[in-house]
Amino acid sequence: MTTAVASALRPVPIPASSDLRRDPVAQAFTLLRIAFTVAPILFGIDKFAGVLTDDWTRYLAPAFNDIIPGNASDAMHIVGVVEIVAGLLVAMKPRIGAWVVAAWLFGIIVNLLLVSGFYDVALRDFGLMLAAIALARLSAVYDEGAFGRTRRT
């Protein structure tokens, strides 16, 4: 494996504890990275478990349900897999994963705007999308291996 490929696949370490104690930027990066790793994975798992809500399919716009193969339940399982993968990608490569999560949240916002009655959830997800973009920008400092760049101090 070439060094560029190996570097791109190597997980990004958490900032050193000394940086976390004194650097608010490192604290923000770590907090957002943990949040955007854990939340998508848990929401993805719940698409199968159904603990957080009894019916995830009610959040799926009919326009999307018509173009996704299978029924709404199948679509939600696909969504769950995508969310789990996105969370794992944030854990491994936040510089890439954060943009994936932001794009995914944008798609969720569009979907929710097409379903009547979920505008409050769409607004919340807009805030989450902005936070994911902030993580992506912070990752430019802390994601050493992505795209051949080095950590700036």
Give pLDDT, residue 148.
Answer: 42
The answer to whether the CB of 95 falls within 8 A of the CB of 12 is yes
CA 76 to chain centre: 16
pLDDT band, very low/low/confident/very high, at 116 (cuts 50, 70, 90): confident
The average confidence (pLDDT) of the chain is 87
Residue 39 burial by Cβ neighbours in a 10 Å radius (0-12, 13-18, 19+): middle
The answer to whether the CB of 65 falls within 8 A of the CB of 99 is no
Radius of gyration of the CA atoms of the chain, in A: 17
pLDDT band, very low/low/confident/very high, at 17 (cuts 50, 70, 90): confident
pLDDT band, very low/low/confident/very high, at 141 (cuts 50, 70, 90): confident
CA atoms within 13 A on the CB side of 11: 9
Q: Would you report the helix, strand and coil content of the chain in percent, each value rounded to 5?
A: 75, 0, 25
User: Residue holding tokens 């969370």?
Assistant: 87
* Long-range contacts, stretch 16-23, CB < 8 angstroms, 24+ apart: none
Its pTM stands at 0.82
Residue 52 burial by Cβ neighbours in a 10 Å radius (0-12, 13-18, 19+): exposed
User: Residue holding tokens 């490929």?
Assistant: 5
Sign, CA dihedral 72-68-99-94, equals positive
pLDDT band, very low/low/confident/very high, at 26 (cuts 50, 70, 90): confident
User: Residue holding tokens 């000394």?
Assistant: 18
